[in-house]
Structure 1
């Protein structure tokens, strides 16, 4: 059979003779025959639409909705209108096509910064020609011959920038997938995953292709997946469930429709497909359905065409139980029409379905072509009302008078995606004509649940999209006004067979916890040296744009100014945070000294030297001691109350820091949480950040500290190592040694490890509780453009839900901009994260950096301070290129000695590099690299260390070694396995920087960013 022939079924196709569907059945019989009512060219169709009121419907609807009385019951399906998108060059526009995919990709970076990239729609592949006509002419084929031409399948990539309303064609690096149509695509963060489909060479391989859009120049990667998988297929569905599981369902393998369910855990490496056997009544074998994932982890499979070529009207929900079981359940409500080759996308709790085919050249009729399944109310709605019975045949085109608004969405083989509360549709097939229009609608039900300000922004966005202008920003709604939010299910499971009431803005939540682990048994990967030898190309690329901007500012002589123009900044609750003016930094950290006081608790050690009570430490209120206060006379009750104020600790009205310390500071007893859901909500984290930011904003850029002090290197979310260090060498508490010694942390608190949230929240709480004793400076991973890539953002979303998680990630990154940048101890030792690089000759250069400061707004000084490294050894002097990326440098021992002499210093302590023994000397001992996380990324097998500086200025390294691997047992749960591996989802193209001092594998590709 000719693979370039029409995808319509042929009499000599053996798959058709036995009643099954063939791999070439992307046919005209079902979708391509020209309907008499729809005959005409694409241009005529478009003219009809744009000439009607439909063109200006969307913004008018928003304004009218504000003027109307509140809507009772579920909102009807929205009305779509044409977007007048900007296409500067002909090749930038996707052009007429069908069988493509349209995927929404989240923004990259922080809005308002130079490296910010707004939300985008990525269009991939599809068929650009029909049998009997060409894509260039757009001339409709005759009835019965409008099958899709396999030779017209493409592999091109087009990008629609939502903020600029502009289409562009992009050419990624790397090997692209083969041309294809009827494939699937879904977003995983800032990556688009492509799988399956059919093209000129027949069925596409089952490989997973990833388009990484994190950087300015996208790149294709092929994901290595072990073991058997779904196999080649087309017309199937795929979705990312719970921000974790790639689910592939159904389709056609070239012989018959399928109903199998496959899952790939993106948090477990090596990647592996697993065939699931869900419980409950599931969909029949079918193809051309849609699958969309609600934000709480519920997947909705809608419509499709069964093995008898009958279109389906049913919808099925697939959810994962706490015990690891997956279960199907039939969605409630009555669908207005059966359909296949349609499109569907969630906006909050509402599934928006558009278009579709019925077979025999017919498409879904009139008002039923657009429908909404409101999963919160458990009902279907079309453009007229709540659906109580199937609409098929009730509204014909003739009876409706050819309503242009309805006509606009009558199509099949199109694609849809959602950005905020806007739904976009592109292309498809109608009446034998390939379409090239972009449609948009706003889900007013979502807009009604936001604050007035957010709703006004949505109005402006819809209006601008319609007018072909920049639609404005997609900000965060009031995350802390959630009094009406229902309590989450205690086990984080999704309730099946009944609607889930949405919170205020309709977002849904679930607990993607370790209980929800899918794959049992150990999955440890040990690539050893090979894994670490590849330097982090993505990390280098992420900083390259910032470095170029910093260089340009330096060349142009631009003066660096702190980011103070924004004025007061609103939290999710609308509370204003004043931008504080940094006071004079000379000589101190400007924390108001407290008076002499007696702590309100005493530390008590159990009398037993052994047994169960041996070594137990308790803290008791001083008032609980029988004899201690007998000589103190308080006089009257009033004076007694006044006297007891001396015993009260000085603490903030805010109790969040205390809650964090009580919950997390357990050096001996801390264990990874059984449930991955984080114990603080976004309100509490906001309060914690507010308290810490007030302290950081009053501190100088270079802290002035005294000995004795403990110094900690990189932690990278390895909270267990932090607890081990506290357990072995003292902890910052009244039961520990905080009264006798200070604590200094050198940055890189987040990313790579599994518990970045525990690490940063505990350190912030300790800072608030002991502002004069606990000190934090900034590392290179305390920047949004870096920790968006290397785990922190993913962890926030996974453990707090998408909405709260993204808000928390943004809030903590704003706090990072206030962190001090270095510390001087006794004016003899300087501590920093990276190094002195090429530009730092005097401490005053660091002191002059004003905060808050972003990496984009910083200079070469900030770049060198956070990113530079020493050279390989003392024999390599001067400045050399840094393998981390172009423009970064390493500095030799001569630079170290020169800096120390210029500033009358004796030692530099820095972090930033994993070293095998936890600490490593350089420049004849005048520089020490310190790293506190053990077995970095699970592969380095390095020790972790701290430095303890005594009053006599003697530095004592104190080490911990990696714990041996946990021994698997029959009782070991799969959730504990996932606890060990979930952050390994960072693929091989984002490995950690190689361990310093470890033998390296040599590569000749010196032009590569990954070269060491």
Structure 2
């Protein structure tokens, strides 16, 4: 294809289908907003627009010019259009020597008009772009210092271009497509890596066919994972295709998507912006007939792998193309744009906001109910100075926190070199319209007899057939994904290079842990007595259940766990079976140096105690397209405060003097919100893969942050849009930070009720956590009055926690085990909540307190070293239970295991423990399980950190009271599973059973 040496602008006779192309901006706004707060050095934005008379969504904010610092002429970007502007988040911890604040990266664009740029044409309609003026230079705007600088990255840069696209992936800027002096740019992906002190260009190797050369298209990072490219022009015609590149799957490969629903027509010069929760909005553009578009389309990925388009609600104030758009929280800010024939959008429609929480468009005056009919002139200046400032096209936009920045563009045939800023104070607020919609929805649910919570959030999902499984062709998790080392490729270390088992298993503290845990047995003895009294009345029923179940000690011992399925008789493809991945992912114990947090992938055979890892996801069957746009964040501010304060996988530090940051009123609000959700859930949750499963945490908040840091965190910046989280109980006691652990998990549950799931452990009981640390911590950190009140309120909440979870109807997750009494899942489902340990049955005791026997050779029921009345169950009981319920795997927690996970019953039961170095002496690893959609279970581990080389005198923030150490010494933990234990009188114990 021959490409002309220059690009004409859009006129009434636009002919991009037959000529090379007209220059338009790419989608420099398609970046995630960083969360850097404003500082005294930050540019001052125009005052926020006043609220509309009568409460409602705020109008679009006004823009002001920024007088940025430019030390040398070459540091400033100068006049240009068709460039991109990309927001890159801060690097490092604020206040540390290596901290780098948020930046805007400007790349490429055209710096000259057709003819003599010093003498601009009489109208925009006659202004063209000289492709010889296209550039490949990089400029950086430091938001905190208000200063421009020119960057000279290492490596081979992309060719000069304009009308390309750019987006941020962490601290890297990805460039693709566009057009330059030599014609259409190649489809290669170029990455500007800003991680190191000296930026560097890289070319990304992508396998297979891709979107091909194009310009005027859009690109955005969706859900912090999928790089989406849509539309544009290939030099012949506008396009409507959608391509996706999964940044978490290597080798990289483009995949052409076929989204469901009504999508946009073939178009170019649109914008695409990704909301933080994974919703992409494509706005405006110009179709194949050179008609500007006013509609907006949402694109979202369902958890079953489907992508779906939906038309955004509201009335757009004006059609437009060659505009700019960027999200600030739930509000999409749109600025400028062209209409063809040299005309541009102006008047109050020049700046607009699509409030996706309220479902309405706003301009600078009010909510838009009908399209505006203002003046559209190429030459005349607007009557309003603020409108004139934003009247432009082919510019670029990016957002940092609540600030929206615009740079450059074209107005009236003149290239611009100004930087504008606006502040959207409404972005962090919940609009009245959104509140009203939420209230109306809640009222409707109440009238329909539904309780609020996860099982009332998506009607279509609850109507799904129980036997429905993940569709074929869904994303499959292969080799475990591990964190990169300094931005390099994922590391696969062979088993011979692994840390020897002996080095990891210190014998320190073995004798201490083997001591009888008499205190724990005493704590449960009163409860056991009450349960035993009730057991007499229910003994006949329990025995009846047992007599009706098949004998597993012989004939069933080696039988298949899967009963014949009716579906198989119809020649249907059998559902995938649960299997353990042959490698586990491990993070080394080193914390400092260039290799801090090194990742290893070890064969399962390298572990003395084998285990698996599980993760799940929840499909969304949204038949109504509007539901795609209804992904709203919680309106409760307390969960947001907790998440903002605590969800810091790399930056969290224990509070100085251990003062807890929430008061009892805030904890009350948090518990009330979470309790409403728990009360709407069944006792046995019904969950879908993919999902991550966490074992005991025991107040070791630092380990939780390490697991989030290494293997993904439940946030919009993490992987919450694509994988769910399940926690198996024992959140409190033994560790130093039970309040942080419980508060964050509750906040995550409120914020992501359909994605974060908690079930109950044996320490979520007042009589237990009164003795093992949680009550003492509440008083010590909040004062006696508030601490005791908080402890009581948390324990009332614990009585509402679900008791187990079924994943894909193949895996059951619980805290303890099946003990002597549990033969069918229905027995757990029939437990009515709220339920206390005292009021519970032997089923509840077994569910929360029982353990497997020492190994696969010990069958039947045996006494439990935890105390009289508690039992252990053998592999025959596991096989019997799985056969009775058509299950393939039991995942449970409750016991510390050396590798963080351990297999039992020939792999049909896995014990999972996530806290490292339990009670400061066990030196055990912590693990999670990740279950993929293909039901492959992958274990992921972290090892204990080495002791800190600090003293209270030199590091006041490391001061920890000795109360927890004394408590653990006085009330030793149950010995680590797999280590020698004191054996009770076996004959007497069996007689008791």
Normalising by structure 1, we get a TM-score of 0.49
**TM-score, length-scaled by structure 2:** 0.50
